[in-house]
A and B are shown apart, each in its own frame.
Chain A
Amino acid sequence: MDITDFFDTFFEEAEELLADMEQHLLDLDVDDPDGEQLNAIFRAAHSIKGGAGTFGFNVLQKTTHIFENLLDYARNGELALRTDLVDTFLEAKDIMHDQLNAYRSEEEPDHDAFVRICQTLQQIALDEIGAELEAAKGAPIANASSGGDSGSKASAESAAASETPKESKSEAGGEAGDGDGDTHLKVALLDVGEKDRTLLVEELDQLGHVIEQSGDEKRYEVTLSGNTSADDIEAVMCFIIEPEQIEITDAAPAESAAGESAPEHDSSASSDQTAAASEAQGSASEPQSASPASEAAPAKENDKTPAQSQPDSPPKAPKKKPKPKKKAPESTSIRVSVDKVDQIINLVGELIITQSMLDQTVSDLDDQSVGNSSLQNGMSLLQRNARDLQEAVMSIRMIPMEFVFSRFPRVVRDTAGKLEKDIELVTEGKSTELDKSLVERITDPLTHLVRNSLDHGIEMPDDREAVGKPRTGQLTLSARHQGGNILIEVKDDGAGMDREVLLKKARENGLNVSDTMPDEDVWQLIFAPGFSTSAEVTDVSGRGVGMDVVKRNIQAMGGRVEIQSKMGEGTNTSIVLPLTLAILDGMSIKVGEETFILPLSAVLESLQPAKEDMYAMAGDDVVLKVRDEYLPVIAIHEVFDVEGAITDPTRSIAVIVQGEGRRYALLVDELLGQRQVVVKNLEDNYRKVPGVSAATILGDGSVSLILDITGLHRLSRARKEAGNHANQPTPVLSKEAESS
């Protein structure tokens, strides 16, 4: 066990902290900032800094440090917030995120971005609050000014909270460490089990030298020498145990008197502690510049009692408490790897299959036999429990749409800013749950649709005013359940789409359109590859790639996109997705002795074809007339070479199915009924099979293939073409292999 084992924990926590930070930044009302929010942002930055420092992520640590200082001024009202400052803060957050990702992939973060953001932040500090910043800025030049500036500032700060000097010590001690020399800290672990304890002690040994250790489970004391600050120690420990379980005091006996007096300050002013602490950091100097740090610190200490001017004054311990508090709510959930969840889902699927096999056997039993009724009772109990279990397990994978929606305030803000439009984002149905794998895949298409609405949909404020609309456009993102599907809508109150323009553009692009097309079909034109109505290509959209990708992505998820639009009133794009990819509502059909599954969502109706409704066309093609519509007929037994199937179409059943907006009539022998099936991937151990999307396991333990409607159509055509040219089935395979 070494410190790197905690990297992942840190990365995940830092990621969450950054997300929190962004959330708060976006919610921030610049004219009347909420103190709590500013505190939250500040705390997030502070926690990341602590962790980054401990794990040696220097660039991240320095960035957060500067950022934190600036936030501190904002929090104290010394820095008046403006929208452009918030933008810069957001940018800083992004850069920190990049840095985090870089560390995660074991690369060095982008140095240019680091330097740039540091300069920008320092510039803000300089411009907005002038001289006070210089001390905080910590560049070597701070040496000159730090004495005077920090002196005056320190007194102001220490008026606010008596903690200041100690904090500045620990900062100086921790970050500029070498200047201060080794310190001795006593770390007490309360109620820590032996296993964790061993780990923690090893951990401490990484941070400094463990000189002695003793105690029991209730209280275990470790004396540590080194130049790590109490702050950092706690930051590391907090990844393993609760903050309440740690007590860090200075081991140097001389300070005992000061140690006693200091904690009183702390308890009385615990809520001010972070504030005070950060003030001190602000005025203390930058990490690397050890000498300015020690200069700044003494300047403040002059205001303090002599005891505290000793290096490493005792009171460090208590000040930790405020920071960890926000961790509390996390304990209601645990992090589990998706693999584990999938494994459970698989096992439960197995259980269900075994259960239905047993069920089958039991129902075949002779009713007379002894003990049969209790066996059957047991079986029905088992069945219920197994179903409940399956439902519960499936719900583990479900996560609320909030995870998707939460990124959009930022997207809208940035895009609107770039386009110089006023846009208000409304989100509805954040708690609607969706399978995790779908959540991950829906984000990109949705982002594209949102950008599209912002760019093409909502008009410029002046234009809006001219037509009597409020200057601020509204974009609504909503999600709700609808049957077994989830319906996600992107709605704007913009200009709507112009039918004529779309048709004209479509003709220019060589698409086959007619003036009498229904509106819905006209709107679908925007999904054609290379189609863009935007006069010019902008940063945001207009390249004409994208919408077709959006549509394809959504279709790949088993969903569809629909558009409703009205000139002058806006556009509503709806995405309909299945709730999960792991379970499918299917219709089982029989062809010969083989059972196949059709996705129920594709099935429109089934009927017995009459001879007079079947028309042969050139080649082998046959169409079936269904209510004045001619549908291509695909005989499953032909496509899949099934033996013993009904070959006379009038004796078979035609299932009308829809795939990618087109309808087909599938000829099958028999409909077996609807059932929910667990979708199993064929490609894990085999390969993609033309005309088949996946497989599933039936109640008797045998495998059944799930048909892919459009794939079937392609397969049927390919076979007919091959049949026409030569009697070779192989081209079908190679063709599929190429296209896949």
Chain B
Amino acid sequence: MSQTNNDAVQAASEAENREFLVFSLGEEEYAIDILKVQEIRGYENVTRIANAPDFIKGVTNLRGVIVPIVDLRIKFNLDSVEYGGQTVVIVVNVADRIVGIVVDGVSDVMTLTPEQIKPAPEFGVTLSSDFLNGLGSLEDRMLVLVDIDKLLTSEEMALVESTRDS
């Protein structure tokens, strides 16, 4: 488990500087690889899917494509989950799929050098460090670098058909 994590960190540190899209969930700041991001749009018109886990808000129409919407705030057990004008959906492209993730707001795009990316400690029951690329340290800020690929294709997200071959 921590092996994969270290690998990821190592892979990351070997790479050049990487750009991350920073978004907020409640008071916390998270970031995902900008290359995974397709677009950012408002939260609207989501059709509920019955019998799905509560963090799957439903599906929406993205220019003719049906896209599932995941609320990371619910997934990460945040206290307040509100939908307002500021609520933003980041549309990401992972594993040949398009998925929208609901966040409280998008702040900026950051470039992190390999040195700024620290390995994530073993923590969290809700967010296993398997789903992290590490922690980004930026002066007084700490960014949780989410491995969005792994997170969204993981079994517990129930976004993809249970992968028998895994």
A684: min CB distance to chain B, Å: 7
Interface residues of A in 687-722 (CB under 8 A from B): 687-692, 695, 697, 700-705, 715
A680 to B60 alpha-carbon distance, docked (Å): 12
Indicate if the CB atoms of B67 and A685 lie closer than 8 Å.
yes
- On whether the beta carbons of A695 and B51 are closer than 8 Å, the reply is no
List chain B residues, Cβ under 8 A from A350: 63-64
Q: Does A622 make an interface contact (CB < 8 A)?
A: no
B127 at the interface (CB under 8 A from A): no
In the complex formed, the residue of B with least CB distance to A683 is B161
| A640–B47 CB distance below 8 A | no
**Are the C-beta atoms of B160 and A687 separated by less than 8 Å?**
yes
Which residues of B82-100 have CB atoms within 8 Å of chain A's CB atoms? Answer: 97-99
Which of A422-430, A545-553, A729-737 lies at the interface with chain B?
Answer: A729-737
Check A639 for interface membership: any CB of B closer than 8 A: yes
Q: Mark B98-117, 1 if CB is under 8 A from A, else 0.
A: 11000000000000000000
Considering only CB atoms, which chain B residue lies closest to A594 in the complex? Answer: B48
Contact A701 B162 (CB under 8 A): no
B136: chain A residues within 8 A (beta carbon): none
Are B161 and A688 interface neighbours, CB within 8 A? yes
* Alpha-carbon distance between A349 and B160 when the two chains are bound, in angstroms: 26
Asked whether B158 lies within 8 Å of A733 as measured between CB atoms, the reply is: yes
In the assembled complex, the Cα of A702 lies from the Cα of B47 at a distance in Å of 7
Within 8 A of A (CB), among B42-78: 45, 47-52, 58-61, 63-68
Is B37 engaged at the interface, CB distance under 8 Å to the other chain? no
Task: Using A685-B99, A688-B161 as known contacts, say yes or no to A705 and B47 having CB atoms under 8 A apart.
Answer: yes
Chain B residues near A349: list those with CB within 8 A: 64
Tell me whether A697 and B61 are in contact (CB under 8 A): yes
Query: Would A704 and B67 count as touching, CB distance under 8 A?
Result: no
User: CA separation between A680 and B65, bound complex, in Å?
Assistant: 8
**Is there a chain B Cβ closer than 8 Å to A538's Cβ?**
no
B159 within 8 A of A: yes
Closest to B50 in A: A640
Asked whether A642 is an interface residue with its Cβ less than 8 Å from the other chain, the reply is yes
CB distance from B152 to the nearest CB of A (A): 11
The answer to whether A152 has its CB under 8 Å from any CB of chain B is no
Interface residues of A in 634-665 (CB under 8 A from B): 639-642
For the complex formed, measure the closest distance between the CB of A143 and the CB atoms of chain B, giving whole angstroms.
58
Check if B63 sits within 8 Å of A703, measured CB to CB: no
B44 to chain A, nearest CB (A): 9
Q: Is the CB of A684 within 8 A of B49?
A: no
Known pairs A689-B49, A740-B161; A682 contacts B59 (CB<8 A): yes
In the bound complex, do residue B68 and residue A685 qualify as a contact, i.e. CB atoms below 8 Å apart?
yes
Is A681 located at the chain interface by the 8 A CB criterion? yes
Q: A681-B66, A733-B158 are in contact. Are A705 and B49 (CB under 8 A)?
A: yes
**CB-defined interface of A585-601 with B at 8 Å, one 1/0 digit per residue?**
00000000010000000
Please, which residues of chain A bring their CB within 8 A of the CB of B61?
Answer: 697, 701-703
How far, in angstroms, from A700 to B45 measured CA to CA in the complex? 9
Residues of B within 8 A of A715 (CB): 51
Q: Does B47 lie within 8 Å of A732, measured CB to CB? A: no
Interface mask (B19-60 → A, CB under 8 Å = 1, otherwise 0):
000000000000000000000000001011111100000111
Instruction: Please name all residues of chain B whose beta carbon is closer than 8 Å to the beta carbon of A642 when the two chains form the complex.
Output: 50
In the complex, A298 Cα to B58 Cα: how many Å?
80
Cα–Cα, bound, A689→B48 (Å): 12
Q: Which of B51, B52, B63, B162 counts the most A-chain CB atoms under 10 A from its CB? A: B51
Are B161 and A594 within 8 A (Cβ)?
no
Minimum CB–CB distance for B39 against chain A, Å: 14
Produce 1/0 per residue, B134-166, CB < 8 A to A. 000000000000000000000000111110000
**Interface size, A (range):** 35 or more
Q: CA–CA, A691 to B50, complex, Å?
A: 9
Residues of B within 8 A of A695 (CB): 47, 59, 66
Contact of B51 among A681, A683, A729 (CB under 8 A): A729
Please judge, given known A-B contacts A685-B99, A733-B158, A740-B161, whether A702 and B45 are in contact too, CB under 8 Å: yes
| B162, A685: Cβ atoms closer than 8 Å | no
Q: Closest B-chain residue to A593, C-beta based?
A: B48
Distance between Cα atoms of A729 and B160 in the complex (Å): 19
Q: Which residue of A lies closest to B161 (CB)?
A: A687
Q: Is the CB of A685 within 8 A of B49?
A: no
CA distance A264 to B160 in the complex (A): 71
Shortest distance between the CB of B56 and any CB in chain A (Å): 8
Q: In whole angstroms, how far apart are the Cα atoms of A687 and B65 in the complex?
A: 14
Contacts of B66 in A (CB 8 A): 680-682, 684-686, 695, 697, 703
A346 on interface, CB distance cutoff 8 Å: yes
Q: Once bound together, how far apart are the Cα atoms of A733 and B99, in whole Å?
A: 20
The complex places the Cα of A737 from the Cα of B159 at a distance, in Å, of 12
Cα distance, A353 to B160, chains bound together (Å): 28
Centre residue among A684, A692, A715 by max chain B CB count within 10 A = A684
> Of A681, A683, A702, which is in contact with the most chain B CB atoms at under 10 Å from its CB?
A702
Q: Are A686 and B48 in contact (CB under 8 A)?
A: no
Q: A641, A701, A703, A733: which contacts B59 (Cβ < 8 A)?
A: A703
Please tell me if the beta carbons of B59 and A732 are within 8 angstroms of each other in the complex.
no
- A703 touching B47, Cβ below 8 Å: yes
| Least CB distance, A384 to chain B, in whole angstroms | 21
Question: How far does the alpha carbon of A692 sit from the alpha carbon of B50 in the complex, in Å?
Answer: 10
The residue in A346, A685, A691, A692 that gathers the most chain B C-beta atoms within 10 A of its C-beta is A685
Q: How far apart are the CA atoms of A579 and B162 in the complex, in Å?
A: 32
Closest to B67 in A: A685
* A640→B51 contact, CB < 8 A: yes
Q: Are B51 and A641 neighbours in the complex by a CB distance under 8 Å?
A: yes
Instruction: Find B50's partner among A641, A681, A703 (CB 8 Å cutoff).
Output: A641
Which chain A residues border B68 with CB–CB below 8 Å? 685-686
Distance in Å from the Cβ of B95 to the closest Cβ of chain A? 10
Q: Which residues of A contact B161 (CB under 8 A)?
A: 683, 687-688, 737, 740
Contacts of B160 in A (CB 8 A): 687
Which residues of chain B have C-beta atoms less than 8 A from A686's C-beta? 49, 59, 66-68, 97, 159
Residues in A with CB closer than 8 Å to B98 are: 685
The reply to whether A689 and B52 contact each other, CB–CB distance below 8 Å, is yes
A129-162 vs B: 1/0 string, CB under 8 Å?
0000000000000000000000000000000000
Closest approach, in angstroms, between the C-beta of A696 and any C-beta of chain B? 9
Give the interface of A toward B (CB within 8 A): 346-347, 349-350, 353, 594, 639-642, 680-692, 695, 697, 700-705, 715, 729, 732-733, 737, 740
11 residue pairs bridging A and B, Cβ less than 8 Å apart: A642-B50, A685-B67, A686-B49, A686-B97, A687-B161, A688-B161, A689-B51, A695-B66, A701-B61, A703-B61, A733-B51
The 6 closest A-B pairs by CB, nearest first: A640-B50, A703-B47, A686-B68, A350-B64, A685-B97, A702-B45
**Known interface pairs A685-B66, A702-B45; 5 further A-B residue pairs with C-beta atoms within 8 A, sorted by A's residue number:** A639-B50, A640-B50, A688-B161, A704-B47, A729-B51
- Give chain B's interface residues, CB within 8 Å of chain A: 45, 47-52, 58-61, 63-68, 97-99, 158-162
